[in-house]
Amino acid sequence: MMIFLAVLGALLLAGALYVARGFLLIAKAKRLTARAAAIEAETELLRAETARMEAEQEASEADEAAAKAAAVVALGYVPESDLDTRYWAPVPAERTAVLASVRTGDWAAGAAYVTAAGSDWEERWQRVVALADLAAEEDDAWLLAWRAAHPEDPLAALVNAETGVRTAWNVRGRKGAAYTTAEQFRLFRELLTKAQRDAHEAQSLADPADPLPYMVEQHIAHGLGYPHARYRALWAEITDRAPKVLSAHTHALEHWCQKWRGSHELALAFARESAAAGAPGDLLTLLPLIAYFEQETHEDDLLAETWYKEPEILAAADAALEDLVAAETADPADPRLPRMRHMLAFVLFWQDRDAEAVEQFRQVDGHIGVIPWSYAANPRRRYTYARDWAVGVAHPDL
């Protein structure tokens, strides 16, 4: 009996201890819960305070940036909202007048305008592009009338072919393949294939010395994916006629870039070869700068802050500056100059050569429809970031 009572007592004591331990654990859990709630409340307060401080800092930085932007504008630079993202330079008054006449159906005015450029192939090309853009983006009735009136006119055939190329690329859009629908790709290839036939017609009708009908085929080659051998044959057709047309070289560089049909190595090799073949003032030293820019844009692990300070890129910028001076000395109104100035402004900015960059920004300010700015999701923001920084360094009193 005594043993039974002892066992029972032990069991009761153990139960009491278990119950007491349970109460202690519950009390401890409540204390921990309360402490966790207090910590969470403190954390929320800290988060709120951090958010408030970050918002104040962002507002302060925004105010500072706005003040700096206003100070830059006060020096005569164009406000961000007014920057033209379509053209890299002001449209010549003569071109504006000619396009206005062409819109009314006066295709003869357009024909005369292109013809007046003679064998200045770069200028002639830009005039053809202006007419083709008009037909591709607005009404092409004047072009159809021109072709109907003169079906064997080589110039009409050329403008028609380039219009087809531009129409095709407008349908595809300029975004990456991931943002392009299957239907867009189908129409793109269909339109480019027709443009290819039109380009071949223009080539058959053209003066044998004219490189432009072959330049038309360059962007067809990008889209249809010409094999390297075929593209080299096309390139030979161009350079045999005119070896130093800047637009032809920049189009070819696109083809050899990794994002299209080549690689960084092929693009840079082509760019260096072009630059070496140019004489002072040909502005072909632009090509290596574009090649370096294309590589930096494509490779996520390259930092602009260090990439553009590589010795070979510093040397390429120096060579481009010398080339620019030679071209400007020969013709201060050379319409190719802004293309070089835009790229130099960008590269010199990243090289911390701010005073030199500002000189280029000053010359091109207002029109930014060209690389490197046009590659950005917000071209105006990319441009003003670099411009305003460089101006601020060059004018520390701002």
pLDDT digits (tens, 9 = 90+) for 47-72: 877 667 666 666 665 666 777 888 89
Q: pLDDT digits over 84-99, tens only? A: 999 999 999 999 999 9
* Interval 321-342 mean pLDDT: 97
Q: How far is CA 231 from CA 224, 261, 349, in A?
A: 11, 10, 35
pLDDT for 10: 58
Q: What does the pLDDT read at residue 261?
A: 87
> Residue 302: which pLDDT band, with cuts at 50, 70 and 90?
very high
What are the angstrom distances between the C-alpha of 190 and each of 31, 183, 185, 220, 224?
A: 74, 11, 8, 11, 10
The SS3 of residue 163 is: helix
Which pLDDT score, from 0 to 100, does residue 175 have? 66
Q: Confidence class of residue 14 from pLDDT cuts 50, 70 and 90?
A: low
The answer to whether the beta carbons of residues 345 and 357 sit under 8 Å apart is yes
Kindly report the number of other CB atoms within 10 A of residue 16's CB atom: 10
The stretch 315-339 carries a mean pLDDT of: 97
For 24-37, what is each residue's pLDDT tens digit?
667 666 776 777 67
Reduce the DSSP state of residue 80 to 3 states and report it.
Answer: helix
Nearby residues of 137 by Cβ (< 8 Å), 6 or more positions away? 166, 170
> For residue 298, what are the CA distances in angstroms to 291, 292, 374?
11, 10, 15
pLDDT over 80 (residue 189)? yes
Give the model confidence (pLDDT) of 164-175 as tens digits: 999 998 888 776
Strand partners, 84: 367
Instruction: Report whether pLDDT(108) > 90.
Output: yes
pLDDT for position 146: 98
d(CA 380, CA 383): 5
Q: Is the pLDDT of residue 158 over 90?
A: yes
Q: Tell me what the pLDDT averaged over the chain comes to.
A: 90
SS3 assignment for 165-197: HHHHHHHHCCCCHHHCCHHHHHHHHHHHHHHHH
Mean pLDDT over 226-239 rounds to 97
What six digits make up the tokens of 392? 């601020």
Give yes or no for a contact between 256 and 270, defined as CB atoms under 8 angstroms apart: yes
Residues 299-319: what's their mean pLDDT? Answer: 96
